[in-house]
């Protein structure tokens, strides 16, 4: 049993560990060092504070040092930076940032929760005063003050990930026109390209400029940034720049103390979150952990996993051994009216890990279509051949996305398969869902593929199949065709007329059927298969075709 635990860093991981330790042991001495003035703040709320959605700064402060000290009887020392770890002596060297004095503090166990810092590339002009990062409360204070005093007409966000796109909304709310510059060929790297393009199309429709596949090389201006220079030679004028390129783990203390660093660059920990020193644990954005799906080492900086890791380490120190089973990367973001969410592995990750997988798409309404106000969402499900184990999911839509991804994240964590999704008894009333919920429908579509009731193909395979003499059949209604458009060369036979018009479909050619979202073409597949045709269903229907077609959208 430890008599004294020292914690380096607060926020989700460190603060969670401190509170749990006290609940487990009223007599333990617990010292928490934080180099800033805040020990527990809502990092994920920063863009909403900048945009004015969260009006009061104090709302970001989950717990104040005084409040946490009083409730949990902790020794909290803010504005105190741990400069060195002395593992042999079981001590840390601390600098009081207010008076500059240094001193040593002993520990029985040490918990490292240093977090991660924003990636700031070493480029010309990067230190100009109207270049900002968004990682902590002081960052957001600077950013908010500049926006409200300078009132910039234009802004560039460098980085198209979750924080970058949340900042797009914040800047738009403050009246700035916004351009996103992303070095990758898509935004939202957690998504697969055909899902990311739905967001790209939405942003462009909202007047947001997108520059993809191009890299920032310099910032130019006299006393402030006036333009960005990209690798392609393109120049983009801007009154301010927000860097949202990503984060890197803060590992200096660990490196200098001789602790093992993993292949990802994060602090290496075992399944108990213990470092290579048995008396030192590490949690949060600085640590390398195991991916729940692939089993590979990853860095996934999220508040939820950091908080759970802090609690787990407290249990391991003060109560009983608990293993960390890995991170699955469940995340969600609001991008103006659109919502995007992910859980588990995407297809890029599965390919890299060499994991065999299948995919299906659905485009259900968020609640019963006959009840006013329903809107369509798009879902991609990844699952294993054979048993149909759930490997990952991506959801983009306007409402109900959070509910959908949470059910799928729970199913993934419980190691359920697609057949189990069919059996889930989820809440239904017309304003909220459908009798067959979007999750149930995913289960039906995926299990149809596994049971070989239908052979699914994706649009990226269609061109090759057509070259081999396959025929494309569109089974949508006439009004859908008129509204949405057609795929060149497709034979149009509405589903309800299919049995009467079979003679129009060549019997000696493979049939590729599609509808708007994939459900009616599945029915067409069942009809044609039983009539002796060799037929495949194009997964996701015309909605997925639109996404693929727009994937080649040029930069704006």
Catalytic center residues: 44
Please list, in sequence order, all residues whose beta carbon lies within 8 angstroms of the beta carbon of residue 211, skipping any fewer than 6 positions away. 179, 180, 181, 182, 230, 234, 236, 555, 556
Helix, strand, or coil (residue 224)? coil
Please list, in sequence order, all residues whose beta carbon lies within 8 angstroms of the beta carbon of residue 391, skipping any fewer than 6 positions away. 293, 344, 345, 350, 355, 357, 382, 383, 384, 412
Q: Which residues pair with 249 in a beta bridge?
A: 116
Query: Under a CB-based contact definition with an 8 Å cutoff, are residues 199 and 342 in contact?
Result: no
Q: Which residues pair with 104 in a beta bridge?
A: 93
Q: Which residues pair with 358 in a beta bridge?
A: 383
The CB density around residue 414, as the number of other CB atoms within 10 Å, is 9
Tokens 């040490």, residue located: 110
Output the CA–CA distances (angstroms, integers) from residue 113 to 10, 32, 36, 104, 435, in the order listed.
7, 10, 13, 19, 45
DSSP letters spanning 2-43: -SEEEEE--HHHHHHHHHHHHHH-SS-EEEEEESSS-SEE-G
Strand runs labelled E in 196-293:
209-212, 216-220, 227-230, 235-237, 241-243, 247-249, 267-268, 280-282, 287-290
Alpha-carbon gap, residue 255 to 329, rounded angstroms: 26
How many Å from the N-terminal Cα to the C-terminal Cα in the chain? 61
Question: Helix H segments across 184-328?
Answer: 193-205, 252-256, 303-318
Alpha-carbon gap, residue 16 to 429, rounded angstroms: 38
Strand runs labelled E in 172-215:
177-182, 209-212
306's tokens: 């950091």
Which phi and psi (to 5°) does residue 422 adopt? -65, -30
Q: Going by DSSP bridges, is the β-strand pair 154-158/241-243 parallel, antiparallel, or unpaired?
A: parallel
Alpha-carbon gap, residue 306 to 312, rounded angstroms: 10
437's tokens: 């919920």
Q: Which residues pair with 103 in a beta bridge?
A: 94
- 238 burial via Cβ count (<10 Å: 0-12, 13-18, 19+): buried
Among residues 224, 144, 227, the alpha carbon closest in space to that of 179 is found at 227
Alpha-carbon gap, residue 481 to 487, rounded angstroms: 9
């Amino acid at each position: 049993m430890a008599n004294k635990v020292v914690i380096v860093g607060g926020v989700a991981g460190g603060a969670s560990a401190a509170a749990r330790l006290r609940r487990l042991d009223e007599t333990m001495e617990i010292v928490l060092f934080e180099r800033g003035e805040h020990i527990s703040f809502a990092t994920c709320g920063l863009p909403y504070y900048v945009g004015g959605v969260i009006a009061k700064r104090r709302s970001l402060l989950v717990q104040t040092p005084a409040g946490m000290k009083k409730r949990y009887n902790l020794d909290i020392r803010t504005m105190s930076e741990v400069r060195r770890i002395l593992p042999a002596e079981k001590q840390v060297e601390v600098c009081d940032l207010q008076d500059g004095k240094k001193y040593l503090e002993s520990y029985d166990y040490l918990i490292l929760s240093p977090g991660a810092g924003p990636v700031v590339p070493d480029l010309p002009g990067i230190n100009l005063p109207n270049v900002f990062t968004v990682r902590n409360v002081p960052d957001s204070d600077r950013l908010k003050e500049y926006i409200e005093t300078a009132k910039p007409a234009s802004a560039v966000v460098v980085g198209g990930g979750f924080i970058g796109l949340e900042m797009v909304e914040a800047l738009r709310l403050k009246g700035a026109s916004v351009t996103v510059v992303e070095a990758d060929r898509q935004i939202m790297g957690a998504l697969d390209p055909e899902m990311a393009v739905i967001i790209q199309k939405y942003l462009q429709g909202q007047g947001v400029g997108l520059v993809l596949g191009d890299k920032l090389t310099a910032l130019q201006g006299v006393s402030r940034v006036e333009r960005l220079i990209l690798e392609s030679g393109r120049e983009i004028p801007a009154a301010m720049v927000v860097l949202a390129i990503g984060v890197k783990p803060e590992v200096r203390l660990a490196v200098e103390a001789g602790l093992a660093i993993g292949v990802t660059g994060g602090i290496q920990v075992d399944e108990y979150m213990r470092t290579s020193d048995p008396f030192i644990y590490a949690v949060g954005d600085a640590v390398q952990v195991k991916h729940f799906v692939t089993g590979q080492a990853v860095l996934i900086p999220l508040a939820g996993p950091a908080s759970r890791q802090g609690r787990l380490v407290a249990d391991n120190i003060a109560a009983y051994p608990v293993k960390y089973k890995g991170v699955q990367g469940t995340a969600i973001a609001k991008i103006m009216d659109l919502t995007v969410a992910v859980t588990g592995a995407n297809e890029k990750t599965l390919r890299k890990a060499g994991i065999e997988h299948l995919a299906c798409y659905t485009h259900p309404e968020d609640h019963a279509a006959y009840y006013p106000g329903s809107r369509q969402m798009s879902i991609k499900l990844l699952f294993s051949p054979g048993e149909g184990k759930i490997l990952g999911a991506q959801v983009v839509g306007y409402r109900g996305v959070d509910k959908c991804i949470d059910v799928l994240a729970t199913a993934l964590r419980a190691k359920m398969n697609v057949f189990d999704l069919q059996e889930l008894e989820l809440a239904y009333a017309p304003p909220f869902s459908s009798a067959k919920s979007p999750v149930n429908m995913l289960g039906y579509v995926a299990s149809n593929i596994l049971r070989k009731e239908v052979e699914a193909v994706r649009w990226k395979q269609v061109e090759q199949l057509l070259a081999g003499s396959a025929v494309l059949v569109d089974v949508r209604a006439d009004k859908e065709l008129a509204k949405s458009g057609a795929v060149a060369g497709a034979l149009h036979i509405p589903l309800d007329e299919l049995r009467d018009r079979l003679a129009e479909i060549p019997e000696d050619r493979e049939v590729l059927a599609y509808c708007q979202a994939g459900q009616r073409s599945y029915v067409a597949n069942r009809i044609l298969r039983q009539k002796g045709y060799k037929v495949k269903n194009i997964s996701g229907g015309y909605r997925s075709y639109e996404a693929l077609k727009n994937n080649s959208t040029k930069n704006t």
